[in-house]
Structure 1
């Protein structure tokens, strides 16, 4: 693995760092393609759709290339497992999320034949749909394209 390009670490840093804290890592962030955003919902499908829409609009993946959309979908699901503690449910369980997300595309391996990979990170809050009763949560998913 290329120690200079750990896409999961980069995605996680992007969702956790405040704007003023990012300058130290700026050279690392420039080595990859990135899409960032925020999403809040009690509907898991809306969370997935928000990330997919942002990534496609940013040009991070080619919408008409199935393997790229497929890789993104599985990386999102893996990251959401961390946020939801393995239970892919929000509103059905009377809980809501407020998340920042980062999707990073890069080549984390030295051997070019390993190709490109996607990392999806979520960081924010999850909890009962009552303001102030949430707690922090984080999730990371990585998939090859």
Structure 2
């Protein structure tokens, strides 16, 4: 059994959050490979900004660069957009605004594409966007932890 197996049990959202929370070190490549062995497409990264549009743009660019979605298919871009917005609502407490209220974010993110659940083979692909990091005034030490998760079907 893979040493990551106990941590990666569950549905797509739980896996996305676990990867985001655990992928801050030298074992990240091993963890990403474990997710891929389970049949999921995955992109991880980091982004920091005072502008939510830059957060969205950075994640969207990563996802397209890694071919996690087909940018020629509107439904795939649409699913990604809604999952990102839902995750952003989580980290911003329902108000997706950072710079306009003098706040900045520093986030790690994971985007997963695959079955909603290991037992839901009749379902087609879903997409999950997980974010974890900090939000606060743009002054060192004035931030606090935040976490967000968005899931949508493709």
Indicate whether the TM-score tops 0.5.
yes
Q: TM-score, normalised by structure 1?
A: 0.90
SS at match of 1:47: helix
User: Offset of 1:10 from its aligned partner?
Assistant: 1.1
Structure 1 segments unaligned to the other structure (5+ residues): none
Q: TM-score, normalised by structure 2?
A: 0.85
Q: Confirm or deny: 8 A CA contact 2:19 2:31 kept in the other structure.
A: no
1:19 aligns with: 25
Is 1:97 the counterpart of 2:105? The answer is: yes
The CA distance in 2 between the partners of 1:60 and 1:25, in whole Å, is 14
- Which residue of the other structure, out of 3, 6, 13, is the alignment partner of 1:8? 13
- Which residue of the other structure, out of 70, 83, 94, is the alignment partner of 1:86? 94
* Matches for 1:127-142 after TM superposition, within 5 Å: 127-142=136-151
2:4 aligns with: none
The CA distance in 1 between the partners of 2:147 and 2:122, in whole Å, is 31
Stretches of 4+ aligned residues off by more than 4 angstroms: 20-26
Q: Confirm or deny: 8 A CA contact 2:35 2:42 kept in the other structure.
A: no
Partner deviation per Cα, 1:52-79 (whole Å, 9 max, x = no partner): 0000000101111110000000000000
**Count of residues in correspondence between the two structures:** 143
- Which residue of the other structure, out of 56, 59, 74, is the alignment partner of 1:51? 59
Structure 2 segments unaligned to the other structure (5+ residues): 1-7
Partner deviation per Cα, 1:65-104 (whole Å, 9 max, x = no partner): 1100000000000000110000010001110000001000
CA 1:5/1:26 → structure 2, altered by over 3 Å: closer, same or farther?
A: farther
User: Offset of 1:15 from its aligned partner?
Assistant: 1.1
The CA distance in 1 between the partners of 2:9 and 2:20, in whole Å, is 19
* Cα RMSD for the two superposed structures: 2.0
SS at match of 1:114: coil
